[in-house]
Amino acid sequence: MTRPHDDIIVSITGDDNNPGTLSRPLATLARARDLARERRRSAGAQLTICLTAGTHYLGKTLELTPDDSGVTISGEAGTVVSGGQPLALHRQPWRDGIMRARTDPGVAFNQLFVAGRLQRMARYPNYDPAVRPFGGYAADIEARASRWANPAGGYLHALHAAEWGGMLYRITGKDSDGSLRLDGGWQNNRPMGRHPAYQFVENIFEELDAPGEWFHDRDGGWLYYYPEADFDPENLVEVAGLPELIVLRGAAGHPVHDVTLHGLTFRHAAHTFMETREPLLRSDWTIYRGGAVHCLHTTDCRIDACTFDTLEGNALFVDGANRHLAVQACHFHDIGASAVVFAGDLRAVRNPLFSVEQHQSLDDLDLTPGPLTEDYPADCLVDDCLIERIGTVEKQVAGVTIAMSRRITICHCTICETPRAGISINDGCWGGHLIEYCDVFDTVLETGDHGAFNAWGRDRYWQLAGAATGQLSALSLLDAVEPTVIRYSRWRCDRGWDIDLDDGASNYVIEGNLLLCGGLKLREGFHRRVHHNITVGNTFHPHAWYANSGDIVTHNLWMDAYRPAAMSDDLTRWGREIDHNFFTAPGEARASFYDKGCDHHSHYGDPCFVDLAKDDYRLSETSPARVLGIVNISPDLYGVQSDALRQRRNVNEHAYIHEP
């Protein structure tokens, strides 16, 4: 790597008393940041901090402030920024194939890595990657507790009773009747109790019985480990301790600006699931407002060609007022919670409500459109990113989630292997988002009643007391002030809908998408325009529409009759226009809702796809469906485009097609 003479060099073999040159590098990022501040105060130039290959253990969270504006932190290939630490252990055999080693007093951790591989806390039932959810579950947790002398410090993981995400609890002990004492369950904003069957426990000493499991007796100062078959006594053992690795922390009117993180791998961030408790607006979500990289009050910053690897909480959290943040060519994998979260400050919302049970009246409503303050992310970009295997710990997550934000663009992203949505928009505040050329599949793998794309619109107009039906159309645009566009993307959900606009999500344009399994659902809401989409093996699902919604559903290809729910015979509840579509099913599918005013000018027939054997659903030159005006999108245009990311996830293998 050729470096300018004024770059600051950090090496794992360096010394913080050095000047930070190539021949005499520094040892820590914290010292490099401080030296960069000193140089910028005297010279004012932009500077680059270069990390040489190896694992750079932070020791404590690195905070970048407006004083660090203009700095680039860049890493050579093989550079890891770690929130953990290596353990120097004297291992000794214990019993039943288990080893143990002394740990220093007070050492606490909740992740253990051996030879770079994440190991699992001692758990019941044992982990099996072929089993969903959780890699194994059991309904006899309470009965099993009779075997445990003192389960305090253990954790119980469960699905929500309706499978709307997960519920997590800390075990604080046992009662005299043997039942567990639990603290938690606040990781879902619609508490209905935990699922009776989909549960497991971890960090229980008596359950240390499988290779790759471990238990840390913090009070006794012992680490117990059941080694895997290929374990080598010389293997490096690392633990995670920090929930956040790098924080860009600006202030109102004084943002961090023009900071770039390039070519870094972020690893060893501790889990935060017991801190996931802040409710979002009338959604099913609670969040932990933080991540391995956390951005607050920034402008024109970049996260480029970075890898977020095996992190137990959120990978990247974009918090409050951030403008023009670009996240490009990054790889997120094996993430405990969400990969990327955009979340504004609740104080930016007019008439905020936090539970679906909460309602307000028209007399009390602020009728001013848009946000109250500027404390929200806007005009940010997630481009050419590969996001896979997320929600390994928490289940109410998404590859990218957007809440209380405006004009977020997500393009050319491949998102897969998620327990819930690939992309989720939590509310209508404040629209203007663009999602295009994305490839989203293997979604909703561990939960239910959701979509590969999911949105709610439980905004201030929704279920509003004292408002006439005719007023709701205009009121729906108080928060969703700009249309959100979802276009030219490929979606697949086998346990829900490919695109799910739920509970009042309004002001959407859905065009040119390829829907591979679950079809399209629109529930309640206003001002949705759906056109030029191709749906494979499914159809359109209108649910509980308001009168005079203004919805337009035209020039789409469906494969079956519509599947409505809670739709009345009142023709005003069937939108502005549902017509000029194409059905591959027999003519009776097209005619199923003639009496509701639908599809009097629609067609049916063989769509003549280009190559079904290769899952190429473009329309051939001879297709009668070309009358719809659908634009053929090359399969190569979906998802990541950079060669490095395409090689990591072989997008040409059509892994998104599988039997449910």
470 or 74, higher pLDDT? 74
Secondary structure class of 124 (helix, strand, coil): strand
Residue 648: predicted pLDDT:
84
* Residues forming a β-bridge with 496: 450
* Residues forming a β-bridge with 388: 333, 416
Concatenating the DSSP letter of every residue in 219-252 gives TTTEEEE---TT--TT--EEEE-BS-SEEEE-BT
Mean pLDDT value of segment 550-555: 98
Which pair of structure tokens corresponds to residue 36? Answer: 């960069």
Handedness of CA 300, 59, 332, 51 (dihedral sign): positive
As a whole number of angstroms, the distance between CA 88 and CA 82 comes to 17
Q: How many CB atoms lie within 10 A of CB 601?
A: 9
Residue 1: predicted pLDDT:
47
Residue 107: predicted pLDDT:
85
Contact 242, 128 (CB under 8 A): no
Altogether, the residues listed in the chain come to a count of 660
As a whole number of angstroms, the distance between CA 237 and CA 246 comes to 23
What residue has token string 């490009």? 328
Tell me the per-residue pLDDT of 478-513, one tens digit each, with 9 for 90 and over.
Answer: 999 999 999 999 999 999 999 999 999 999 999 999
Mean pLDDT value of segment 42-49: 83
Contact 121, 273 (CB under 8 A): no
Q: What angle do CA 220, 225, 231 make, to 5 degrees?
A: 150
In a domain, 291, yes or no: no
Residue 632: predicted pLDDT:
96
In a domain, 162, yes or no: yes
Residue 653: predicted pLDDT:
43
As a whole number of angstroms, the distance between CA 383 and CA 376 comes to 20
Peptide bond just before 430 cis, omega within 30 deg? yes
Which helix (H) or strand (E) covers residue 217, if one does?
A: strand 213-217
Read off the amino acid at residue 135. G
In a domain, 268, yes or no: no
Tell me the per-residue pLDDT of 597-648, one tens digit each, with 9 for 90 and over.
Answer: 999 999 999 999 999 888 899 999 999 999 999 999 999 999 999 999 998 8
Please give the radius of gyration of the chain, using alpha carbons only, rounded to the nearest integer.
26
Q: In sequence order, what are the residues at sequence separation of 6 or more whose Cβ sits closer than 8 angstroms to the Cβ of residue 521? A: 451, 497, 499, 500, 501, 502, 541, 542, 543
- 187, exposed or middle or buried, with CB in 10 Å at 0-12, 13-18, 19+? buried
Helices and strands of the chain, counted as H and E runs: 5, 58
In a domain, 206, yes or no: yes
The total domain count for the chain is 1
In a domain, 158, yes or no: yes
DSSP state letter for 179: P
* Residues forming a β-bridge with 656: none
Nearest one of 364, 385, 255, 252 to 315, comparing CA atoms: 385
Secondary structure class of 62 (helix, strand, coil): strand
- Whether residue 657 has pLDDT greater than 50: no
Q: In sequence order, what are the residues at sequence separation of 6 or more whose Cβ sits closer than 8 angstroms to the Cβ of residue 519? A: 497, 498, 535, 538, 539, 540, 541, 563
In a domain, 167, yes or no: yes
Residue 605: predicted pLDDT:
95
Pairing outcome for strands 166-174 and 155-160:
antiparallel
In a domain, 557, yes or no: no
* Residues forming a β-bridge with 514: 490, 534
290-294, 359-363, 399-403: which range is least confident on average? 359-363
In a domain, 446, yes or no: no
Mean pLDDT value of segment 270-277: 96
Contact 649, 414 (CB under 8 A): yes
Average pLDDT, rounded, for the chain:
95
As a whole number of angstroms, the distance between CA 494 and CA 501 comes to 16
Residue 4: predicted pLDDT:
55
Beta strand spans in 352-405 (E): 377-383, 386-390, 398-403
Beta strand spans in 87-127 (E): 92-95, 98-102, 112-114, 117-118, 120-121, 123-124
- Whether residue 42 has pLDDT greater than 90: no
Query: How far lies 451's CA from each of 349, 397, 448, in Å?
Result: 26, 12, 9
Residue 261: predicted pLDDT:
98
Tell me the per-residue pLDDT of 183-237, one tens digit each, with 9 for 90 and over.
Answer: 999 999 998 999 999 999 999 999 999 999 999 999 999 999 999 999 998 899 9
Read off the amino acid at residue 566. A
Which pair of structure tokens corresponds to residue 68? Answer: 């660090």
As a whole number of angstroms, the distance between CA 595 and CA 591 comes to 8
Contact 112, 119 (CB under 8 A): yes
Nearest one of 54, 202, 221, 200 to 118, comparing CA atoms: 202
Handedness of CA 218, 220, 223, 226 (dihedral sign): negative
As a whole number of angstroms, the distance between CA 295 and CA 248 comes to 5
Peptide bond just before 86 cis, omega within 30 deg? no
Nearest one of 336, 343, 358, 246 to 287, comparing CA atoms: 343
Q: What percent of the chain has pLDDT over 90?
A: 92
Read off the amino acid at residue 139. A
pLDDT band at 650 (very low <50, low <70, confident <90, very high): low
Tell me the per-residue pLDDT of 142-187, one tens digit each, with 9 for 90 and over.
Answer: 999 999 999 999 999 999 999 999 999 999 999 989 899 999 999 9
As a whole number of angstroms, the distance between CA 440 and CA 390 comes to 13
Domain assignment of residue 212, given as a range: 87-234
Contact 315, 332 (CB under 8 A): yes
As a whole number of angstroms, the distance between CA 450 and CA 485 comes to 19
Residue 40: predicted pLDDT:
83
As a whole number of angstroms, the distance between CA 494 and CA 496 comes to 6
- Whether residue 651 has pLDDT greater than 50: no
Secondary structure class of 150 (helix, strand, coil): coil
Q: How many CB atoms lie within 10 A of CB 382?
A: 30
- Whether residue 656 has pLDDT greater than 70: no
Tell me the per-residue pLDDT of 86-138, one tens digit each, with 9 for 90 and over.
Answer: 999 999 999 999 999 999 887 889 999 999 999 999 999 999 999 999 999 99
